Structure 1
Amino acid sequence: MKNDIQDLGLVLESRVRLVVIESWEERRVLEAIGALAIKRQQTWYTWDQIDGLQRLGFGSALEEADDLVDPEVALDHIRRHRQPALYVFCDLHPFMQSPRLIRLLKMIAMDPSDNAPTLLLISHELSLPPELQRLTARLSLSMPSDEQLAAIIREEAARWTERNQGQRVRTDNRTLQQVVRNLRGVTHEEARLLARKLIVDDGAITQEDLPVLNRAKFSLLDMQGTLSFEQDTARFADVGGLTQFKCWLADRQAAFHEPRVNGDTPKGVLLAGVQGSGKSLAARAVAGLWGLPLLRLDFGALYNKYIGETEKNLREALAMADAMEPCVLWVDEIEKGLGEDGADQGVSRRVLGTLLTWMAERKSRVFLVATANNVMQLPPELIRKGRLDELFFVDLPDARVREDIFRIHLGNRELAVERFDLPALADASEGFAGAEIEQAVVSAVYCAAARREEVESAHLLDALSQTSPLSVVMAERIQALRDWAQGRAVMAD
């Protein structure tokens, strides 16, 4: 609060007569303005659609004859009386289409005298017409720091303890730190609401609460549309192979969670490879490994037939991801949104420019995970080092990894893994991608159920023999992709 009051004081000292404050915390803004008015010994008034213009604190009384609920009448009253006071208008945005109201705002904003009034417009969102923008100063309230977020959690825990006969809220330091990290980007009141929801159910803050917190935060920030919140993030135990990729992530986890001052923060990776080899699963697993919310950017939902709308949609989606920091942003099959086919009147190039600008300039801790089936379609400026940290190639699994994949999918279906001949299954599935192995397991389960038999290795071998993997169906294209990756990308396994 102290910093907000100081920032607002500096704006007022510059003698700007029109100030816009966009915030969801109207009460907190009013408290800051009131504290500043008392400090400056200045009269201040508030206006809203219900009570009209009202005096707060000391100063001249208002004329009761005026209909000061009407915003145009209230502004005209302020212009005519010319008091050097602060006038705070709450939710003026529905009236911004009125030419007369805009003119009144402009006249007050251009008043050069020392006794001119100062208008402060408060709203969750306020767009000004061009003629007012250069006469206006914009101010944003500071977001709570980690120390303030931790204090809010402690306060809510203390309140819960008082209401529950002295019982203490159960948690551990690691979980508490993760909760604080995941609360970044919300306001003080929103943080208090989310912390209260975590505690009130069972009097505990545990690892199981983190996905609930992330979903609630995503819903609170109203991010539906081009961005979706992925509810289930895979564990790396559910991903066969990718040994080098897992080690790479483990080495950078601490640097992402606790970045040093002026230090480098991991930016993201591109996972290229054969279709069905587990790229999307690996992208989900990054969020699971790092304990972060996972957002998925849908390029198909971005595109709009009106000029400029597609780029605007992307900018808004990226701004939403920034607000959810720290998080993982997953862009699946990115080449389909940024591929160079020349048939979209330059929209892909403009979208690429918007994305590249964000990747180069962002300060938020958003880890980008992009996947591509055909990396050769991507523009070179996207995949160069600096924009992304590394390019990994996810190849077809070898025999050892295929055994792991069988083990995972059999275990997921509660089948006793020890009853199966995993080496024989691995040999029979040479050239199969992970998704194709899973479908073979599914087919074997269906077949055995139809025959009222227990699933055995024979069912799996039969399912494998009836499947032609993609590496056979499209052998030339798959081999060309694998040849391209040699020497150009880091092998994920």
Structure 2
Amino acid sequence: MKNDIHDLALVLDSRVRLVVIESWEEQRVLQTIGTLAVRRAQTWYTWNHIDGLSRLGFGADMDAEQDTRDAETALEQIRRAGEPALYVFCDVHPFLDSPRIVRLIKMLAMATEKVAPTLVLVSHSVPLPPELSRLAARISLSMPSDEQLAAIVREEATRWSEQNRGERVRTDNQTLQQVVRNLRGTTHEEARRLARKLIVDDGAITQEDLPTLNKAKFELLDMQGVLSYEQDTAHFADVGGLSQLKRWLSEREHAFNGDPSLKDTPRGVLLVGVQGAGKSLAAKAVAGLWGLPLLRLDVAGLYNKYIGETEKNLRDALQLADALEPCVLWIDEIEKGLAPEGGDQGVSRRLLGTLLTWMAERRSRVFLVATSNDVTQLPPELIRKGRIDELFFVDLPSAQVRADIFHIHLAKRELAVEQFDLAALAQASDGFSGAEIEQAVVSAVYSAAAGEQAVGNGHVLKALSETSPLSVVMAEKLDALRAWANERAVRAD
């Protein structure tokens, strides 16, 4: 609060007569203003549409005969009194469509006297009309630091313990650190409510609570729309191969999570390659590996028939992702939204410009994972170093990786893996992608169930033999993609 009081004092000392504070924490704003007013022995009033003007602190009461619940009446009384006090108006923004109210605020804001009233408009959002915007100073309350967030979690744990006969909240240091990281971007009260929800259910804070916390924070920040929250993030144990990508991510996890000795934060990767080779699963696995929320940006959902709305949708989505930091932002098949088409009237180019600016200038800890099936459609400025950290090529899996993928999908369906000849299955699936291997296992399960048999090697081999993999159907395009990536990308496996 000390910094907030200091910032507000600087604004008032500059003799700005109209101050806007946007915050969800009205009580904290009022407490900050009250503390400063007491220090200065200055009278201050609050206003809302229910109670009207109420005097707080030192000084004489306003004229009690007038009903100041009406915003226009209250502003007119302030103008006539001319008292050098602070007037804090809570939720006055719905009335800013009145020309008389706007004019009264403008007259107060333009006061040139050395001693004059100061208006402070407070709400979660205060969109000022153009005639007032240049007369106002906007300040924001500071968000809680990591130390404050940790203290909030400890306070809620202590409160739960006191209510449960001294029983201690079960947790571990690593999980607590992740909880604190994922609480960043929330206000003090929001962080307190979220921490309380984590603890009150079972008296424990565990790794299983992190997805629940991330989803609750997502809903709290109202991010529904073109951004979606991915509840089920994969673990890298569920991703066959990609050893180079796994190593690269492991080396950068500590840096992304806020190593104070490192000034540069990992920015993101672009995964290009064959359809079904595991690019999307790898994107999900990044969030699972780092214990972060995963947001998926639907590029197709950005488009709007009205001019300018498409770009605004993207800006809003990126702003919301910044608010949820630290997180992973996944843009699947990015070329479909940024590749120019004849009739889009330049929308794709404007989208690209908005995205490039955010990629280059963002300071938030949002790790971008973009995937593409046709990299030749991507503009070169999107894939240069500085906007992304690395370009990875995801090829068809090798024999050993195919065996691992069979093991993963057989075990996922609770089949006895030891009864299958993984080497033979891997050999028979040469040229298959991970997605095609999974579908072969699914087909084998269906076939065995139809014949009332236990799933065996033969069922899987039969499913493989009846499948024409993409590497055969689109052999020419795959060869061209491999030739392109040979000297331009790092192999992910």
Amino acid at match of 1:173: N
Amino acid at match of 1:75: L
Per-residue CA distance 1:62-86 (angstroms, 9 max, x = gap):
2122120000111111111111000
| Partner of residue 230, structure 1 | 230
Per-residue CA distance 1:184-231 (angstroms, 9 max, x = gap):
000000000011111111111111111111111111111111111100
Cα distance in 2 for residues equivalent to 1:447 and 1:257: 47
| Partner of residue 142, structure 1 | 142
Cα distance in 2 for residues equivalent to 1:121 and 1:89: 5
Cα distance in 2 for residues equivalent to 1:261 and 1:358: 25
Which secondary structure state, in structure 2, belongs to the residue aligned with residue 270 of structure 1?
Answer: strand
Q: Could you tell me whether the CA contact under 8 Å between 1:393 and 1:490 is conserved in 2?
A: yes
Cα distance in 2 for residues equivalent to 1:56 and 1:311: 46
| Partner of residue 124, structure 2 | 124
Cα distance in 1 for residues equivalent to 2:290 and 2:115: 56
Per-residue CA distance 1:429-485 (angstroms, 9 max, x = gap):
111111011001100100000000011111111111111111111111122111111
Q: Could you tell me whether the CA contact under 8 Å between 1:292 and 1:328 is conserved in 2?
A: yes
Which secondary structure state, in structure 1, belongs to the residue aligned with residue 270 of structure 2?
Answer: strand
C-alpha change, 1:262 and 1:72, in structure 2 (3 Å) is: farther
Q: CA deviation at 1:259?
A: 3.0
Count of paired positions? 493
Cα distance in 2 for residues equivalent to 1:314 and 1:98: 32
Which secondary structure state, in structure 2, belongs to the residue aligned with residue 66 of structure 1?
Answer: coil
| Partner of residue 105, structure 1 | 105
Cα distance in 2 for residues equivalent to 1:199 and 1:62: 47
Q: Could you tell me whether the CA contact under 8 Å between 1:340 and 1:378 is conserved in 2?
A: no
Question: 1:67-466 residue pairs with structure 2 within 5 A?
Answer: 67-260=67-260, 263-466=263-466
Runs (5+) with no aligned partner, structure 1 = none
Runs (5+) with no aligned partner, structure 2 = none
Cα distance in 2 for residues equivalent to 1:139 and 1:124: 12
Once the two structures are overlaid, the 10-residue window that deviates more, 20-29 or 148-157, is 148-157
Amino acid at match of 1:343: G
| Partner of residue 31, structure 2 | 31
Which secondary structure state, in structure 2, belongs to the residue aligned with residue 349 of structure 1?
Answer: helix
Q: Could you tell me whether the CA contact under 8 Å between 1:84 and 1:114 is conserved in 2?
A: no
| Partner of residue 56, structure 2 | 56
Per-residue CA distance 1:320-348 (angstroms, 9 max, x = gap):
11111111000000000111224211111
| Partner of residue 467, structure 1 | 467
Root-mean-square deviation (CA, aligned residues, Å) is 0.9
Per-residue CA distance 1:394-416 (angstroms, 9 max, x = gap):
00111111111111000000011
Per-residue CA distance 1:118-160 (angstroms, 9 max, x = gap):
0000010111111111100001000000110011111111111
Aligned-residue sequence identity (percent) comes to 74
Cα distance in 1 for residues equivalent to 2:165 and 2:445: 53
Amino acid at match of 2:224: Q
> What is the TM-score when the length of structure 1 is the normalising length?
0.99
Cα distance in 2 for residues equivalent to 1:29 and 1:471: 61
Q: CA deviation at 1:261?
A: 5.1
Q: Could you tell me whether the CA contact under 8 Å between 1:300 and 1:337 is conserved in 2?
A: yes
Amino acid at match of 2:158: A
Amino acid at match of 1:79: R
Per-residue CA distance 1:48-107 (angstroms, 9 max, x = gap):
010011111121212122120000111111111111000000001111111111111111
Cα distance in 1 for residues equivalent to 2:110 and 2:262: 42
Q: Could you tell me whether the CA contact under 8 Å between 2:295 and 2:329 is conserved in 1?
A: yes
- Ranges of 4+ aligned residues in structure 1 off by more than 4 Å: none
Cα distance in 1 for residues equivalent to 2:117 and 2:262: 43
C-alpha change, 1:259 and 1:343, in structure 2 (3 Å) is: farther
> What is the TM-score when the length of structure 2 is the normalising length?
0.99
Q: Could you tell me whether the CA contact under 8 Å between 2:255 and 2:262 is conserved in 1?
A: no
| Partner of residue 8, structure 1 | 8
Q: Could you tell me whether the CA contact under 8 Å between 2:89 and 2:119 is conserved in 1?
A: yes
Cα distance in 1 for residues equivalent to 2:160 and 2:462: 59
Which secondary structure state, in structure 2, belongs to the residue aligned with residue 410 of structure 1?
Answer: helix
Q: CA deviation at 1:268?
A: 0.2
| Partner of residue 491, structure 1 | 491
Q: Could you tell me whether the CA contact under 8 Å between 1:340 and 1:379 is conserved in 2?
A: no
Cα distance in 1 for residues equivalent to 2:394 and 2:364: 28
Q: CA deviation at 1:318?
A: 0.8
Amino acid at match of 1:469: P
Q: CA deviation at 1:40?
A: 1.0
Q: CA deviation at 1:262?
A: 5.9
Q: Could you tell me whether the CA contact under 8 Å between 1:144 and 1:187 is conserved in 2?
A: yes
Which secondary structure state, in structure 1, belongs to the residue aligned with residue 430 of structure 2?
Answer: coil
Cα distance in 2 for residues equivalent to 1:382 and 1:261: 29
Q: Could you tell me whether the CA contact under 8 Å between 2:340 and 2:346 is conserved in 1?
A: no
